[in-house]
Chains A and B, each alone.
Chain A
């Protein structure tokens, strides 16, 4: 079994080398750097961006007084200046502490979605891929159905009916968006398990007398790791996408300054028409930053998992 994996490793390395040579030949120096940066170095770039984000939270949280994120800690709607680096909003919250406080909340919602999405995806994907037959058909149809349903629409109905009263907490928000983050992980994991199930090394393991569970955990799981990691990041991104969308519509946690809620309040108080750009531009940049980070990491992991992708990308 080891011999075999060494062999495939070698041949995929050869494929990669030749495809890299092809790429190198067909692109100019400037775009080559871009391509290296975006393709071979996608994962690196994504991880670096993630580190920067965490640094903003950890270091920024130490340097900037969190009290600044509270209302009337500064003047009303003041543009960026020496005292208030990123200005203040209509209610006198300072934008910089607001961002440092808000970004981790948004990431936390994504983390919930990632965990739940991947967890459900693993369970359903393995059951479907391993048992096949009717069970597989049911899981496949259900995940296809939920992919077709615009999740934002369903989440709007749910979030709008429980919005009033106590108000949503960040954790509840995370769980709501997590409930619809499992379809793609399920799809990907199911497809992988289906194909791996037929591979020679699983056949060998079965002939050696390994049980189903042993095969799943000792043979399939390790080979699936990059796919699982990519699915996790993908579920995180879809969770954050749904959460930021709901929050921008005003359906998020009312008392917590998540990035989406900051955007909602900026629209609510007419920041667009009043030209208070320092209010909506920072959260927008941070959200865009988060999505590009997750995209780079997921694509990098995908390519790690599937060397053939390196050719087609």
Chain B
């Protein structure tokens, strides 16, 4: 892996983050002239939380956040605070900082995204590879079209179907039908003071439906890509040679087939990251899962300007980082690319 390759990838990462932060800074300011602080204060005044001197408070806030300065100064101030990791404070849960809120929610999102991608990627790639290899089981061939049909449907749409089937009582369901929870990541009203077995089970139960709605939609996508690559690989001369050498079939399948066919899947994963994260945000919101999605929704509902910004920014950086890592790992596991890169 050459320095130029690493440089180009890191440069791309910086470009993505800078461009995204710039776009989300300027676009709303061009599109509207809403003043979040004033709106917040009006809201507070309406609920009786702020009685006198609203203009003074608004002016003080604007001075604090630099909202009274010209746009380019605001932009520089904004960029430098982003670089310092300072995302301002929540307007609603003042004085909690946006960074604190995100740190509290991020692990849940990371867990959900990571787990779902791992399971879907493994299941999809393995079944796709098996399908392309001679002697694939018939049931698998029957199942694939079902997953292919599910693959274009947005995750959060599948979430509704899963809720309808597994979280709501209907007459057609037999007695033993499983009923799964749909709100939050643990039972309402339970307070845990550590991670014991009961809590783990509770969290797992609450995560089954959100994770399934992501996995169900992704499996078909990965299986389709893998199947295509595996068909190409199966026709390669080195596979024929391996067969003639009398190597064990499972070794040919794994070491000669899978290992080579799997790599382009990683490129697809890097390209799909942004879509996956957007989808996960919506799934979290549907299930009130305590991750970034719910945080974002609450911020939108209360027009908590800085939280909206912070969450969006962190999501963008998260996706850019994941893409960068995949790009950098790729040549390490694929010698062919390493030479070219």
Contact = CB atoms under 8 A, between A and B. Distances in A.
Contacts, number: 165
A273 B287 CA distance: 11
Interface residues of A, number: 54
A284 B168 CA distance: 16
Contacts of A84: none
Contacts of B142: 30-31, 34
Contact of A148 (B16, B32, B231): B16
A145 interface: yes
Contact of B160 (A35, A154, A280, A291): A280
Interface stretch (A61-69, A114-122, A157-165): A157-165
A241 B156 CA distance: 11
Contact of B16 (A34, A145, A151, A248): A145
Interface string B292-324: 000011001101000011011001100110010
A-side binding surface: helix, strand, loop or mixed?
helix
B152 A292 contact: yes
Contact of A157 (B151, B163, B308): B308
A173 B277 CA distance: 22
A224 interface: no
A158 B141 contact: no
A292 B286 CA distance: 22
B32 A161 contact: yes
A152 B34 CA distance: 21
Interface in A37-51: 37-38
Interface residues of B, number: 67
B50 to A, nearest CB: 19
A153 B157 contact: no
Interface string B117-134: 000000000000000001
A228 interface: no
A237 B278 contact: no
Nearest to B304: A160
A241 B168 CA distance: 26
A141 B18 CA distance: 14
B274 A149 contact: yes
B31 A162 contact: yes
B153 interface: yes
A110 interface: no
A284 B148 CA distance: 18
A249 B152 contact: no
Contacts of B285: 248-249
A148 B282 contact: no
Chain B contact residues, majority secondary structure = helix
B169 interface: yes
Max chain B CB contacts within 10 Å: which of A148, A281, A311? A148
B136 to A, nearest CB: 8
Interface stretch (B21-29, B53-61, B81-89, B103-111): B21-29
B145 interface: yes
A105 B28 CA distance: 25
Given A149-B274, A154-B312, A250 B301 contact: yes
Contacts of A281: 160-161, 164
Nearest to B228: A312
Given A31-B141, A154-B23, A157-B28, A147 B274 contact: yes
A178 interface: no
Nearest to A153: B312
A162 B28 contact: yes
A148 B320 contact: yes
A148 B323 contact: yes
B275 interface: yes
B224 interface: yes
B164 A277 contact: yes
A28 interface: yes
Interface string B186-199: 00000000000000
Contact of A249 (B24, B153, B297): B297
A177 interface: no
Contacts of B138: 28, 31
17 contacts: A35-B141, A37-B145, A145-B19, A148-B16, A148-B273, A149-B320, A150-B275, A154-B312, A156-B308, A162-B34, A237-B152, A248-B282, A249-B285, A250-B300, A272-B163, A281-B164, A313-B227
Interface of A: 26-28, 30-31, 34-35, 37-38, 141, 144-145, 147-154, 156-158, 160-162, 164-165, 237, 241, 244-245, 248-251, 263, 267, 272-273, 275, 277, 280-281, 284, 287-288, 291-292, 294-295, 311-313
Q: List 9 A-B pairs, minimum CB-CB distance, nearest first.
A: A295-B152, A152-B278, A161-B28, A312-B228, A150-B274, A31-B141, A284-B160, A153-B312, A291-B152
